Structure 1
Amino acid sequence: MTLLPALLLLLFIAIGVPVGLAIGMAAMIFFLTSGAMPPEIFIQRAVAVTHSFPLLAIPLFVMTGVVMNRAGITTRMMAFAEAMTGHWRGGLAQVNVLLSTLMGGVSGSANADAAMQAKVLVPEMTRRGYAAPFSSAVTACSSIISVIIPPGIGLILYGFMGDVSIGRLFLAGIVPGVLICVAMMVTVAWQARVLDLQPAFPKRKTWAERGASLRGAGLALLVPVGIVVGIRFGWFTPTEAGAMAVLFAVFVGVLHRELSWRDIAPILTQTLEATAIILLVICMANAFGFYMTWERIPSTVADAMTALTSNPILLLLIINLLLIFVGMFIEGSAALILLTPILVPVVTEVGVDPVHFGVVMVLNLTIAGVTPPLGTLMFTTCAITGVSIPAFIRAALPFYALLMVMLLILTFVPGLSLWLPDARFDLGKP
């Protein structure tokens, strides 16, 4: 009976039950059948997690992205990205990658970034002669950068579930995010030559034109900078940074006269819808986590894995393979919430820094979002662009290879993640 709820969870997911409900049903079965505690504890454990202060960062950063989309700030950022890279061969594809990086400092959500660019940028790429499968592959794969650049929601979830400093995680994501952006742009340039893609502009924009586009997007670009600087100097916590980001986004929207009182209801509705999905999974996972702790499943798994090997390099390789497999069948955020309490004690026991592991784990599970059979980023993008899954996979093969290489580099070169937070920063727990 010890593993019955876990086996039922896998069964529910396999037959298509939504992840949040599947986790909750499996947890409820434990409380109903254990006989060791009243079933009412299920509700208490599910609700208790909503009292956490760090979780406030999720709706706040979600709202930041919604406000910026509503205020047209995203369009201004796209114009700036196009002014910088549009003259390159395959320029619109480069714009796609650069915009994902810029959006990472705003929305923190790969799904939001993929959906936005699939609606806005892919049709323009198709109109200018780019193959729809290639455009969709670039959109989905580059959106992975959004969760690594602060304030990535995946980093917030990992920090909360693993009791790891969210401030240090934000700092740890900057260098890997920039490196993935550069590597993605190099891959796009190579693909542009192979596919004979043309530039978006016949010639380079002048610096005056680039300056004009920078002025339009400049205030929005200050959001991630302000978050990092504010946390570094102790002006606010990562959670309070979310509130500051919302206020700043509203200020920019009003300043550009693109926000009005009529926008309040749609902004709140979109924020509530996105937040409710995430928090349902978190609440149910907290109840499920009580079951795992009661049955000593995390400590059992930790003992088994460390008995298998105490070599941190080999252990990280095994965990990466495990995460890739799990991520192919379970949505990234849900897998992150479920597995973080299990894996963090394992890696810390062999001397792996939990901040470094957080970047690796978030990147790994987000990469799974563009891989078959159940990649949410893949399905989101293809549903909007109308591209078939087989065509998407064929177009995405070079990007799959790139992302796997970057995952290995970030896994086995921890200094890339830890250099910035370890340089001078001691941010403590969130």
Structure 2
Amino acid sequence: MSTELVGALGILALLALLVLRIPVAFAIFVVGFGGITVLDSLNSALSLLASETFTIASNAELIVIPLFILMGNIATEAGMSRKLYDAAYALIGSVRGGLASATVVGCAGFAALCGSSVASALTMGRVSLSEMERFNYSAKLSTGSVAAGGTLGILIPPSTGFVIYAILTQQSIGRLFLAGVLPGIMLCLLFVLLIMLLATIKPVLAPSGPKTSWREKQQGLLGAMPILIIILLTIGGIYSGIFSPVEAAAVGAGLTILFGAAMRKLTLASFWRAAQSSITTTATVMLILIAAHMLNPFLALSHIPQALGDFLMALDIGPYGVLLLILACYLVLGCFLEGFAMLVLTMPIFFPVITQLGFDPIWFGVLVVLTLEMGLISPPVGVNVFIVKSVAPNVPLRDIFKGVMPFWLVMIAAIGLLIVFPDIVLFLPDTMMD
């Protein structure tokens, strides 16, 4: 049996395990370990497992994962996410479609703390869906705005997706964080413009919310001040070069704990819940990374990345044609696979092609993460859609998918803008970091 055939069978086995809902880390590990054993030896597989596990566990840069996850969980337990939504609600909730727009803005702000799309959708869904129902918003628009707004969590830094991409491709976490800022803000504004456009074309979708006085607006901003300060210090610290991403994560987590305790919203019990959740999520991410470092050598031994790379390079469609084909693969895979699984499975195959074509790896990383976002709201898997369904059980699943489709199309347009104008991605990392 040829090495290429073994590699192809391994990829098919991995896809089958993922479709069967085997946990991502275990599916990747079984295929990687088994593949190395078949193509090399059991001793090589065992040796690689020991060395890669130690290497990943001792990587200081990965400290950003538990710290940023803890920061988001503490913010949720301390009610900071609610304060952020209240501030957006007070500022723009009175305009037509304002409650849905406030939800998207709240998701963007919360994303800058937790870096998790699922957490953003779940938290903001609990906060905002009842309010939009109270003011007779269309269930499709309200659930669609929550599911789509939640996807900003993987793009706006700190982003776990960027950390995983950086580790898999040996890129700078700091540069990726900076590269995600402007695209994240752009996508948030595009979502808000879409909501306002839909509300203008069909007013019954989103009635005007209650008017708020200047005093209520000031109180809303004052309540959100702690979370805004934390966001400015962490992201601004990375931007200005004062903090490394690891230091910024530590500062952000520490400040979140201090603010939560000072406001008397963070108890020992809630802190313990946040810590437990952070440990569970971190362990999941670390297992995926360790498994990924077993899969990559197996794919290298099988020569699958080289063969597929040669095939793509031989296609007479030009560099941007190859890029669009790769992004199209992510769109299709996103309908069936979880985002981290896609990164681990595809980076060893696609990344060498991208670098050979001369594309900037930071720019490509943002395009990939944005495409992964689309998978979070794409049928039939659409993790964020199912998260919103759990918060709004009375809304049919088909209505939620219909509600996210306009946002999905806007995300396609955003990818097009980033391809045509790459400086949107590269401006901050190129001007602020060497």
TM bucket, shorter chain: over 0.9
CA distance in 2, matches of 1:395, 1:72: 28
> Counterpart of 2:137?
130
Provide the aligned length of Structure 1 versus Structure 2.
424
Bigger drift between 74-83 and 227-236 goes to 227-236
8 Å CA contact retained: 1:46, 1:284? no
Q: Which of 10, 14, 21 is 2:19 aligned to? A: 14
Q: Tell me which amino acid in the other structure corresponds to 2:285.
A: I
8 Å CA contact retained: 2:374, 2:411? yes
CA distance in 1, matches of 2:403, 2:278: 33
> Counterpart of 2:3?
none
Sort the Cα spacing of 1:126 and 1:237 in 2 relative to 1 into closer, same or farther, 3 A.
same
Matched, 1:318 2:311: no
Q: Where do 1:50-199 residues align within 5 Å?
A: 50-193=57-200, 194-196=202-204, 197-199=206-208
Give the CA deviation at 1:195: 4.4
TM-score (structure 1 length as normaliser)? 0.93
Q: Where do 1:291-306 residues align within 5 Å?
A: 291-306=298-313
Name the SS of the counterpart of 2:336 in structure 1.
coil
Q: Which of 37, 41, 45 is 2:47 aligned to? A: 41
Q: Where do 1:397-408 residues align within 5 Å?
A: 397-408=405-416
Sort the Cα spacing of 1:327 and 1:60 in 2 relative to 1 into closer, same or farther, 3 A.
same
Q: Which of 410, 423, 428 is 2:418 aligned to? A: 410
Structure 1: gaps spanning 5 or more residues: none
CA distance in 2, matches of 1:33, 1:23: 15
Give the CA deviation at 1:402: 1.2
Bigger drift between 80-89 and 395-404 goes to 395-404
Q: What root-mean-square deviation, in Å, do the aligned CA atoms of Structure 1 and Structure 2 show? A: 1.9
Q: Where do 1:252-401 residues align within 5 Å?
A: 252-309=259-316, 311-386=318-393, 387-401=395-409
> Counterpart of 1:223?
230
8 Å CA contact retained: 1:323, 1:365? yes
What do residues 73-108 of structure 1 show as CA deviations (whole Å, max 9, x unaligned)? 111111111111111112211111110111121111
Q: Tell me which amino acid in the other structure corresponds to 1:420.
A: L
CA distance in 1, matches of 2:242, 2:160: 21
Sort the Cα spacing of 1:41 and 1:384 in 2 relative to 1 into closer, same or farther, 3 A.
farther
Sort the Cα spacing of 1:309 and 1:280 in 2 relative to 1 into closer, same or farther, 3 A.
farther
> Counterpart of 2:29?
24
8 Å CA contact retained: 1:9, 1:23? yes
8 Å CA contact retained: 2:140, 2:399? yes
CA distance in 2, matches of 1:267, 1:16: 26
8 Å CA contact retained: 1:45, 1:290? no
8 Å CA contact retained: 1:310, 1:350? no
8 Å CA contact retained: 2:241, 2:432? no
Q: Which runs of 4+ in 1 moved over 4 A?
A: none
Q: Percent identity among equivalent residues? A: 28
Bigger drift between 122-131 and 242-251 goes to 122-131
Give the CA deviation at 1:125: 1.5
CA distance in 1, matches of 2:310, 2:419: 22
Matched, 1:205 2:223: no
What do residues 243-273 of structure 1 show as CA deviations (whole Å, max 9, x unaligned)? 1110010111122121133333211111112
